[in-house]
Amino acid sequence: MTTKSPTTIAVGIGLKAEHMPDIIADDTALDFVEVHAENYMVSGGPALRQLTRVRDRFALSIHGVGLSIGGAAPLDQEHLDRLAALLQRFEPAWFSEHLAWSSHGGACYNDLLPLPYNPATLVHVCDQIDVVQERLGRRLLLENPSTYIEFATSSMDEGAFLAEVATRTGCGLLLDVNNAYISAVNHGRDPWDLIVALPPAAVGEIHLAGFAEDRDAVGDRLLIDTHGAPIAEAVWDFYRRTLRHLGSRPTLIERDQAIPPLAVLVAEAQRARSAWVDAAAWTEAAS
């Protein structure tokens, strides 16, 4: 069975171990799957054999969580070498990472931590991305984070920062619509401000996920990026509006906690596919 061409990619899901037998055995109505790079940065074994079988059937997106592109320290060259070997082995349609940091002073943290958006950080992030893209020999897609605090030293809007990174480095952007919505609600902003600030041609992939809701210390609404719930209706509405603005983009459904049956995720992926059709029809009618 041949791999689906990246030119036909529309919707996919994050690949989970509990779904692996069904993904390999069934002709699932998906166009691609995504895996976290750090789960496969080994030289051999059953995980790589299974992923090879999946790659024979589906296009692949590899999503990194450990480069710490925003960290103060230089990039971990050993990590980068192992990542390069993985990408060379599987030749994914996309490779993506986060606009965040997750290590400092030799310690690694189980989170993707935010950055101040200012000229100094911009130069540092661009330098790091240049190193990554040069070493990997491919374009990186940089993902916007979900945030819960902002830095007093920030002097740029998130959208302007991301747009400038893409312009200076030639990297692409992974637009996480859920993250954009979460951050905007948490900081009292309009999420649409981020979308219109991004250069449309730079957006190479979209992520959709679910969130949890709480209240902060003063009783204001607080959204938490859990990847553990169905996609909220407000995020679906925001996604449809985004497609009308950008045009169709490959879209991934993320679920990393409370993993449901595969059919549930495939149904969400099909809902994203339907949003593509609706957005295309709206665009045609408006032209």
Q: What pairing do the DSSP bridges indicate for beta strands 212-215 and 221-224?
A: antiparallel
pTM comes to 0.93
What ranges make up the beta strands (E) of the chain?
11-14, 32-36, 59-63, 94-98, 101-104, 107-113, 140-143, 172-176, 203-208, 212-215, 221-224, 251-253
Query: From first to last of its 287 residues, what are the pLDDT tens digits of the chain?
Result: 334 444 445 899 999 999 998 998 877 789 999 999 999 999 889 999 999 999 999 999 999 999 999 998 899 999 999 999 999 999 999 999 999 987 666 666 667 888 999 999 999 999 999 999 999 999 999 999 999 999 999 999 999 999 999 999 999 999 999 999 999 999 999 999 999 999 999 999 999 999 999 998 888 899 999 999 999 999 999 999 999 999 999 999 999 999 999 999 999 999 999 998 898 888 888 87
Instruction: List domains and CATH numbers for the chain.
Output: 6-286 (3.20.20.150)
